[in-house]
Structure 1
Amino acid sequence: MERVDEFHYQLPRRFGGWRPGAQRGLSQGSGQEFAAHRRLFDHPDPRRIDLRASVREGRGDWLVRIHRLRVAIPVHLVVDVSASMHFGAARRKLEVVADLAEALGYSAFRSGDTVGLLAFDQREREDLFVPARHSRGTGSLMARMLRDCRAAPGTVPHGSSSALAGLRRTTERLVGRGGLVFLASDFHWPIAALGELLRQLAPACVVPVVVWDPAETEPPPARALVALSDAESGVRRSLWMRESLRARWRDAVAERRAELRTLFDAHGMPPFHLHGRFDAEALTRYFLETAA
């Protein structure tokens, strides 16, 4: 059996719920995180009497320790499966996301969380829907579905708002719910209206996963005639790769990266980049930095 990568996520907010898990909860109970001292009369559990605190209090009341629960949360992976996500020089971008899905399923299972999959292109891809559940094999199932996925026929140019419309329909079931949502896409479509959807998902912790291939971010090294094809529209054109064009290519990539960073930072959601491969340790560091 192949080894599955695992990453650890600790979120910066508390969640409601009673199912035991690894995330910080709002409810009080027999947890390990100390919350406050309360009178034994109000919370009649002699097992939790704190003798030292009772003596220090000085009013003759017996005090008990109150703790907060650690709870399980729903985790969803929302994946863009439009034509551009099927591009990749060494591996398709969708296969890199499949590695993330497999690691996510294993990591969520180990944390006691439920995990599910939603996908979209110009519409909601109901054939790629996996309801959130707590199962050891959910990650492998999601990864296999993404690796077997093929671009739907009849795609339209990514300059339209169809990808955002598909995303909006797909995430309707997540609006107003808490938990953790990974939004994986190359975002090769207009993102001006994406802010409204991010606000609707605000009760959840959203992690934008920007999936780019090295062949997209770095132009060909040699001066040559290069044939390019738009993955979304199928439009083909030839360009002479001169040095000025290479500089414009790099500037466009940097500008798009900054645009995405500005949008997501404005909503308190710093993006995580997948650049040709999935790195579980880098994702663990991402959560350690954002939860600090």
Structure 2
Amino acid sequence: MSPGVAADGPPRVDLPYRLFGRARGVAPGAHRAIGAGFNGAFLRHASILEMPDARRIDVRASITDPFGGLKVRRFEHRARIDVFVVLDLSGSMAFGRKADGRDPVADLCAAIAHAAIRGQDRFGMIAAGPRRRAEMAMRATRRAGAPDDVWRRVIEADASGRGVSGLLSAVEELPQRRSLVFFVSDFLMPEPELEDLLGKLWRHDVAPIVVRSSAAETRLPRFGLVETRDLETGRRKLVLMRRSLREKWLAQARKRRAALDLAFRRHGRPAFDLIDRFDPDAFADHLLSGGV
């Protein structure tokens, strides 16, 4: 699969996401849903007394019924779902913009919006950090121009501030109906806040996406002066990097990622690592392998 990416526009890719379990709803869509319907795969034959719909009568099955009853075809119900991106815009997320102007988070969010709308689903977005970002929010929509709108909003967004208190309150505005929620963050937050966030999303199918930087985690010099900066507070610090300190930092990064994975699996599914750039093929493989 190759994305059709314009130099100044979002990627347009089809992503094979799905909702774990059966959807609830009556609007026709692509997801297996509770109950019988007319737009899914054939399930079984039923008596016309059980399902009084003369349009579904199966003549051959009725003729061969030893009891002489009329048989109708019963089909699986398929419905649309709501797909949301919950985006962390705290200051630590400010590292994503690349020298070529691409923003991997913007590309990811636009690709999800494009796939949702092409798949007959509705797409929405909530973004917050220390405070709710009303200008970033999008109500669930099937509007064709939504992917471009999402891409532009994320490109222009200013990730700033410390903490995710705004995100904790913003997720309460998600609909009550079970939705597929792509939770995009670097997850550089205390464990109690992470558990609180995931706990507030208990009724939804949550797909975590961990935004990471290879420069910050693996491209550290073995020896030399390194200037570090806290993106949330703006504080700078000059560090003498040496082999032992480098190994300690890398070990801490691996430990943090392993702890995140345990937390995500407790709440239902593994995370996808968005490292440096958005790779639609890798994301699609993750979805196909059970990530969504």
Decide: shared fold, TM above 0.5.
yes
Contact 1:177–1:201 at 8 Å: present in 2 too? no
Confirm or deny that 1:60 pairs with 2:45. Answer: no
Q: 3-state SS of the aligned residue for 2:188? A: coil
1: CA distance, partners of 2:13 / 2:238: 41
CA shift, 1:254, in A, is 0.5
Q: Using the alignment, how far apart are the partners of 2:19 and 2:55 within structure 1?
A: 31
Which region of structure 1 is more displaced relative to structure 2, 52-61 or 239-248? 52-61
Please name the residue that 1:178 is paired with: 178
- Name the stretch that deviates more: 40-49 or 207-216: 40-49
Equivalent in the alignment of 1:187: 187
Residue 34 of structure 1 pairs with residue 68 of structure 2 = no
- Structure 1 CA distance for aligned equivalents of residues 64 and 265 of structure 2: 46
1:142-200 C-alpha deviation (Å, 9 max, x unpaired): 11011111234xx34xxxxx31x222111011264311111100011112243343233
User: Shift of residue 104 of structure 1?
Assistant: 1.2
Alignment gaps of 5+ in structure 2:
none
**Which amino acid is the alignment partner of residue 4 of structure 1?**
R
CA distance in 2, matches of 1:70, 1:91: 43
Q: What is residue 221 of structure 1 aligned with on the other side?
A: 221
Q: Which residue of 2 aligns with 1:49?
A: 57
The alpha-carbon deviation at position 291 of structure 1 amounts to 7.1
Give the number of aligned pairs. Answer: 284
Q: Which residue of 1 aligns with 2:205?
A: 205
Map 1:276-291 onto structure 2 (within 5 A): 276-290=276-290
Q: 1:220-259 CA distances to partner (integer Å, 9 max, x unpaired)?
A: 2341111111111122211111111111111011001100
Whole-angstrom distance in 2 between the partners of 1:33 and 1:115: 25
Q: Do the aligned residues in 2 keep the contact of 1:124 with 1:167 (CA within 8 Å)?
A: yes
- The equivalent residue for 1:84 is 92
Q: Let me know the Cα RMSD of the aligned residues.
A: 2.4
- Secondary structure at the aligned position of 1:18 is classed as coil
SS at match of 2:12: coil
* CA–CA distance in structure 2, aligned partners of residues 168 and 22 of structure 1: 31
Deviates more, 1:65-74 or 1:132-141: 65-74
Which TM-score applies when normalising by structure 1? 0.89
Aligned 8 A contact 1:12 1:291 in 2? no
CA–CA distance in structure 2, aligned partners of residues 143 and 150 of structure 1: 14
Partners of 1:22 and 1:249 lie apart in 2 by 45
Partner of 2:110: 102
Match of 1:15 in 2: 23
Q: Structure 1 residues 56, 81: CA separation in 2 closer, same or farther (over 3 Å shift)?
A: same
Q: Percent identity?
A: 35
Q: Out of 33-42 and 61-70, give the one that drifted further.
A: 33-42
Cα distance, 1:121 vs structure 2: 0.8
Would you say 1:113 and 2:113 are equivalent positions? no
Question: What displacement does 1:68 show?
Answer: 2.0
Aligned equivalents of 2:131, 2:151: Cα separation in 1: 20
1-structure distance, mates of 2:237, 2:64? 79
- Residue 168 of structure 2 aligns to a residue whose secondary structure is helix
Tell me the CA shift for residue 91 of structure 1.
5.5
Compute the TM-score of the two structures, normalised by the length of structure 2.
0.89
Residues 88 and 215, structure 1, Cα contact 8 Å, conserved in 2:
no
Q: Which amino acid aligns with 2:126?
A: L
Counterpart amino acid of 2:202? A
Contact kept, 8 Å, 2:222 with 2:246, in 1: the verdict is no
